[in-house]
Amino acid sequence: MPWRGPEHPGEFPTLGWLVGEWIENHCVVPDGDDIGSPYLLTDEMWTFLAWHYRLRSDATESGWRSAWHYRRSQLVRPQKWGKGPLTCAMVCAEASGPVRFAGWDADGEPVGRAWETPWIQIAATSEDQTDNVYRALVPMIDEGPLANLIPDTGETRINVPGGGRIEPVTSSGRARLGQRITFAVQDETHSWLEANGGWKLAETQRRNLSGTGGRAVETTNAWDPSEQSVAQRTAEASVKDVYRDHRVPAPASLANKRERHKALRVAYGDSSVLVGGWVDLDRIDGELVEIAEKDPAQAERFYLNRIVAGTGAFIDGDRWDLRKQPEEVGPQTLVTLGFDGSDIDDWTGIRLETLGGYQFTPLYGPDRRPTVWNPAEWGGQVPRLEVMAAFDEIFTVFSVVRAYLDPPYWESECDTLAERYGEKVVTRWYTNRIAQMHGAAERLATDVTKQDSTFRHDGCQWAGQHIRNMRKGARPAGRYVLKKAAESQKIDIGMCSILAHEAAGDAIASGLARPKKKSKMLIMR
């Protein structure tokens, strides 16, 4: 597909079409009944290549290292979609194909050329994981035209003519990670965690790639948002020079076959046999149902490509999102308040809830900032004067009938607020009380999930993320406490939501939601 120039919005220059043509002319199916047949790309794969190899319109041959629009790419697809063979084909192209920008031709089209000495790593956190790609790569080379271009394939390394190489590496093989590599496949990064060396492996490879002008492609299933994997860190990073390709179907009931199949068709796209692909959705559906009996979250991640927390999660993120229903809350509306404070590490926040069940993060100050404070954005310490100013504005704008404040680090401020706004309104509510905290958490979880609940919220991104980060820690008598999945995953704004909702429930139970009766005066005549 030719590039017609910057005067045509939506179009962009890319080497992806050239690389895709090279792949279809040189690569073969690596296994199965069709082994040795030409490896043909689906429309989704063509699209991914076009975006991965997208170029800057002002790229120059002399500045080829900065010619790319994206530093790296992430491809999120379900089990058996074909991520492994696609990355094998990309490895082959990076070894011998026209993947490096080499200027523009007379028609203004980008031109590519091969690396002089390609050094490619297929990375994972274990040898078994690298085998997923490497074991398919060798026959893709040996069983087709590439056998003449790359004749030296081995069990642990493939030698590319001219001194290049392709090798599998793991997080334990530290000695092989300080190399000037030109391309990296980072496979199944949903399992790359800090604990198994995945974070360090990803960071090391990316540093090495930056020195050569090389790039990486990251392939993964949907991740468990409680684990803080490399896949999640890539997806949530604020940088704009990473291309992310993630097809997410709408939420589906795992008990409803029609809904499951509809979601599967979206997740598997043109790899489905329904449109000429290789994936039998009936077979996949059977696997999904079997896994869902014991671990429904895993079934959704692996087969429906959805980001769902594991079984230890407090509230499923999708269910929380379904309660999003932004509303305007007028002045002097009756509200309750939940506050969780910190000092230099965790976050501090305020959430409000109307007695009609609508929860939101209020804005304060001349800049209308949300009442969410990350100490890292305030010089390493929560700005206490800002927080107290926000309290004063909230109590002025709204009619706060109950305020539950978790007091650690904020004892003096709690005293000030109670004196200022009344001890019947401002209450110290300690979240370290197991029985009380369990009950409050269950109240919110129940009202988020039950069908006839009127609970809804504003879609605050911090509240949603912190709710997702919450994990259940078992305690005696069938109770649980809420904890972080990892130290870097904060839960404080989620605690604010629990406290605001508990305060609302208690306020309603005490009759504060009922309209006040007009006093009757006896007039003597």
- 525 within a domain of the structure (yes/no): no
CATH of the domain at 133: 3.40.50.300
- 264 within a domain of the structure (yes/no): yes
- 524 within a domain of the structure (yes/no): no
Highest mean pLDDT among 121-135, 154-168, 347-361, 439-453: 347-361
Contact 121, 90 (CB under 8 A): no
Q: What is the pLDDT of residue 125?
A: 87
- Shared domain for 178 and 276, answered yes or no, is no
Asked if pLDDT for residue 525 goes beyond 50, the answer is no
- Shared domain for 327 and 293, answered yes or no, is no
- 159 within a domain of the structure (yes/no): yes
* pLDDT band, residue 523 (cuts 50/70/90): very low
Q: What φ, ψ does residue 456 adopt, rounded to 5°?
A: -155, 165
DSSP for 388-429, please give it. Answer: HHHHHHHHHHSEEEEEEEE-TT-HHHHHHHHHHH-TTTEEE-
Asked if pLDDT for residue 7 goes beyond 70, the answer is no
Asked if pLDDT for residue 524 goes beyond 50, the answer is no
Q: What whole-number percentage of the chain has pLDDT above 90?
A: 69
| Number of separate domains in the chain | 3
pLDDT digits (tens, 9 = 90+) for 420-464: 999 999 999 999 999 999 999 999 999 998 888 999 999 999 999
- Shared domain for 299 and 389, answered yes or no, is no
What Rg value do the Cα atoms of the chain yield, rounded?
28
pLDDT digits (tens, 9 = 90+) for 155-206: 889 999 989 999 999 877 554 555 889 999 999 999 998 888 899 999 999 9
SS3 assignment, position 108: coil
pLDDT digits (tens, 9 = 90+) for 242-263: 999 999 998 888 889 999 999 9
- Shared domain for 326 and 200, answered yes or no, is no
CATH of the domain at 348: 3.30.420.240
Q: What is the pLDDT of residue 515?
A: 64
Q: For the residues 82-98, what does the mean pLDDT come to?
A: 96
Asked if pLDDT for residue 213 goes beyond 80, the answer is yes
- 230 within a domain of the structure (yes/no): yes
- Shared domain for 374 and 402, answered yes or no, is yes
Q: What φ, ψ does residue 206 adopt, rounded to 5°?
A: -65, -35
- Shared domain for 195 and 263, answered yes or no, is no
The pTM for the full model equals: 0.67
- Shared domain for 213 and 288, answered yes or no, is no
- Shared domain for 236 and 275, answered yes or no, is no
- Shared domain for 87 and 214, answered yes or no, is yes
- Shared domain for 372 and 458, answered yes or no, is yes
Contact 231, 76 (CB under 8 A): yes
- 522 within a domain of the structure (yes/no): no
Domain limits for position 298: 257-307
Q: What is the pLDDT of residue 313?
A: 78
Asked if pLDDT for residue 518 goes beyond 70, the answer is no
Contact 474, 433 (CB under 8 A): no
Q: Output helix, strand, coil percentages for the chain, rounded to the nearest 5.
A: 40, 20, 40
- 430 within a domain of the structure (yes/no): yes
- 85 within a domain of the structure (yes/no): yes
- Shared domain for 199 and 278, answered yes or no, is no
Kindly report the CA angle at 51 between 284 and 147, in degrees rounded to 5? 75
Of residues 1 and 450, more confidence is placed in 450
440 vs 454: CA distance, rounded Å: 17
Tally of CA atoms within 13 A in the half-sphere of 493 that contains its CB: 25
Highest mean pLDDT among 123-132, 327-336, 466-475: 327-336
pLDDT digits (tens, 9 = 90+) for 285-315: 999 999 988 788 889 999 999 988 766 778 8
- Shared domain for 341 and 371, answered yes or no, is yes
Integer CA distances (angstroms), 173 to 178, 194, 197, 504, in order: 10, 16, 10, 54
Sheet architecture: strand order including 72-76: 152-153, 158-160, 164-170, 119-124, 183-187, 215-220, 72-76, 242-246
DSSP for 45-93, please give it. Answer: HHHHHHHHTBB-TT--STTGGG-BS-SEEEEE--TTSSHHHHHHHHHHH
Mean pLDDT of the chain: 90
Asked if pLDDT for residue 66 goes beyond 50, the answer is yes
